[in-house]
Structure 1
Amino acid sequence: MPPTPTPTPTPERRRRLACLVAACLTTLLTTACDATDGEAQDPKPRWSPTPSPTSGTTKDLRTCEDGDCTVEVREGDVIPFGESVRAPDLTIDAIGPAGVDLRLSGEGTTSTFSGQSPDRGGGVSTYNGTDFRVLEIKGDTAVLRIKPNAGS
């Protein structure tokens, strides 16, 4: 049986195919250039496969009762912890360009963490198995990440 001849594409079909190929190539080249050209990239990526460190942020201080939350705070806020957290209440003493001053105070104990900020090594302060990290400072507010210490 002889092979069936392939129909010759019409000029309209060729034009559509050429447009489709051009669009695909443009998308591929743009994506490749964005991924490899460090100088041309925005300082903040437009899309990230993982959530932002401040995603899930709440202003409800009570969500921190279990010692696991991402919360926006203001100077003077007090975060109460439940009995499952081995830390006294957390008071936000100051928020400013020098960082955030945190104070843990309870029955007969006071601990302070002064000048906590995300740009100073992103360090974590730990108290009795609970980690405290400043993720962001925006004017008179800050975003804190509080969570149980994995090593405790």
Structure 2
Amino acid sequence: MPPNPERRRRLACLVAACLTLLMTTACDAANDDTQDPKPRWSSTPTSGTTKDLRTCEDGDCTVEVREGDVIPFGENVRAPDLTIDAIGPTGVDLRLSGEGTTSTFSGQSPDQGGVSTYNRTDFRVLEIRNDTAVLSIKPNGL
């Protein structure tokens, strides 16, 4: 029986997500002693920011979120819904879950040095303001 291409694609995506999570965790642990764990807090609004989570359906938005928010993505985005699990002084915890897959990006902050990517979608925390955060979500044309 020939290998199922869809199953191979899903497995490759799962392996990529796990490796990303492992690399992020290893880098965070290695830099624990040298980095200030507090993200930059800002009271200046980011231009183009919306509070309407539905604007992210196409996977391209800048949105203000609160803990517990769920950003639903449309069928054309290769990522499951995004849940904001926590916002605090150590950063923002993001969880992508759907169809038997869950990936978590913990402690995301404006000064982490880059984006977090899940299946051709980039996630970046631009600002953290008290109990809200501003996220940039963009398609990644790998």
Q: 1:134 aligns with which of 115, 120, 125?
A: 125
Matched, 1:67 2:97: no
Tell me: higher relative CO, structure 1 or 2? Use CA pairs within 8 A at least 6 residues apart: 2
Opposite residue 126 of structure 1, the aligned amino acid is: T
**Partner AA of 1:61 in structure 2:** L
Q: Does 1:113 align with 2:105?
A: yes
In the alignment, the residues of structure 1 paired with residue 68 and residue 57 of structure 2 have an alpha-carbon distance, to the nearest angstrom, of 17
- Indicate whether 1:80 and 2:72 are aligned: yes
Matches within 5 A, 1:1-152: 54-121=46-113, 123-150=114-141, 152=142
Which residue identity lines up with residue 137 of structure 2 in the other structure? I
Could you tell me whether the CA contact under 8 Å between 1:132 and 1:147 is conserved in 2? yes
Q: What percentage of aligned pairs have identical amino acids?
A: 90
Matched residue of 2:138: which SS? strand
Q: Return closer, same or farther for 1:53/1:85 CA change in 2, 3 Å cut-off.
A: farther
Matched with 1:15 is: none
Question: Gaps spanning 5+ residues in structure 1: where?
Answer: 1-51
Q: Which residue of 2 aligns with 1:7?
A: none
Q: Give the TM-score normalised by structure 1.
A: 0.63
Any runs of at least 4 consecutive aligned residues in structure 1 with deviations exceeding 2 A, and if so which?
none
- Give aligned pairs, total: 99
CA displacement, residues 69-121 of structure 1 (integer Å, 9 cap, x when unaligned): 00000000000000000000000000000000000000110000000000222
CA separation in 1, counterparts of 2:116 and 2:84?
Answer: 14
Distance in 1, Cα, partners of 2:80 & 2:112:
25
Compute the displacement of 1:132 (Å): 0.2
Matching residue's letter, 1:94 = A
Which has the higher Rg, Structure 1 or Structure 2? 1
| CA–CA distance in structure 2, aligned partners of residues 81 and 143 of structure 1 | 17
> Aligned-residue CA RMSD in angstroms?
1.4
Q: Which whole-Å deviations, capped at 9, do the CAs of 1:6-29 have from their partners, x for residues lacking one?
A: xxxxxxxxxxxxxxxxxxxxxxxx
How far is 1:142 from its partner? Answer: 0.1
In structure 2, distance between residues paired with 1:147 and 1:55:
16
